[in-house]
Amino acid sequence: MGQTKSQFTEEELQDYEDLTFFTKKEILCAHKKFKALAPEKVGHNKNAKLSMHKILQYPELRVNPFGDRICKVFSSSSDGDCTFEDFLDMMSVFSDAAPKTVKAEHAFRIFDFDGDDMLGVSDLRQVIERLIGDGNTLTDNDVKLLIQTILDEADLDDDGALSFAEFEHIIDKSSDFSNSFRIRL
């Protein structure tokens, strides 16, 4: 194979391959990227947990307005810190091989800031504010109008919020969703 020895047994690699959308080679590549975030901490400790701050140093997460939300959704702890398995799960869902339905489920959880299994007005406001960033040129009325337009288009049961089914219906219409919900290894 080469000069390097994997920290994982063949059985562990097989388990990861069975549980993700990755090949063994891609799993080892993901571990290399994880280790590069904190080589002193990960070193030979395959069970190391990295702080959200460290995970957010990954280039695609550093520039993503939802980086912290992504970490929190994929973290096995409430603080957003990630183990390699959390990181691998995240990268797997953001891979090209992950089905659109899996991506939609995780996108919904990322946008559901209050965790009530609905995308309400406050969730949609936070999504919009993160998307437009600090150079916000929208007035509060513009944001309210945008939220109302979203709800008029997508809130099929008129309850003032988007359920996962309604969100998934929007995603199904979006031809570019899978391409934009992607992080390459």
The CATH number of the domain where 137 resides is what? Answer: 1.10.238.10
Contacts of 26 (CB under 8 A, 6+ apart): 95, 185
Between CA 14 and CA 20, with CA 18 as vertex, the angle to 5 degrees is: 115
Evaluate whether residue 128 is within a structural domain: yes
The contacts of residue 45 (CB under 8 Å, 6+ apart) are none
User: What pTM was estimated for this model as a whole?
Assistant: 0.91
Q: Tens-digit pLDDT profile for the chain (185 aa)?
A: 444 567 899 999 999 999 999 999 999 999 999 999 999 999 878 889 999 999 999 999 999 999 999 999 999 999 999 999 999 999 999 999 999 999 999 999 999 999 999 999 999 999 999 999 887 788 999 999 999 999 999 999 999 999 999 999 999 988 899 889 999 88
Using DSSP's 3-state secondary structure scheme, residue 94 falls into coil
d(CA 185, CA 182): 10
Domain ranges, residue 62: 10-94
Residue 72 is assigned to a structural domain of this protein: yes
Domain boundary among 67, 94, 121: 94
Which of 77, 94, 111 is the endpoint of a domain?
Answer: 94
54 and 17, same domain (yes or no): yes
* pLDDT recorded at residue 3: 43
Residue 160 lies inside a defined structural domain of this protein: yes
Asked if residues 84 and 48 have their Cβ atoms less than 8 Å apart, the reply is yes
Answer yes or no: are the C-beta atoms of 152 and 161 closer than 8 Å.
no
Domain-ending residue, one of 94, 121, 153: 94
Helix (H, G, I), strand (E, B) or coil at 50: strand
Report helix, strand and coil shares of the chain as percent, to nearest 5.
60, 5, 40
Domain count for the chain: 2
Output the six-digit token pair for 54: 């460290």
